[in-house]
Amino acid sequence: MTEIASLKAALHQNIQDIESIDIQDNSYLHAGHAGYKEGYITHIKITISSPSLVHLSKVKQHQIIYKALAAFMNNPLHAIEIKVCNGN
């Protein structure tokens, strides 16, 4: 089972200047939908503050975050909602 702490650790390893990060498990909101597996973290929302991400395009932000979490994708993580914030 994927743990939130493991997801945070993977992000911290790949994005060095994270000021704050919050990961919410929204899997329960998708019960019965594609990719949902009961008892597993399949759908998450990430709110992250990182100076290196904030000025990038949304596409580039998502590429960096998906690359950092590649080992978890489809195993069983299915979907990520991402919000990048300015730390100020």
Model-level pTM?
Answer: 0.86
Q: Are 27 and 40 in contact (CB under 8 A)?
A: yes
pLDDT in tens, 22-79: 999 998 887 877 667 777 888 899 999 999 999 999 999 999 999 999 999 888 888 8
Q: What angle do CA 54, 78, 19 make, to 5 degrees?
A: 25
Distance CA 7, CA 3 (A): 7
CATH code, 4-85: 3.30.300.90
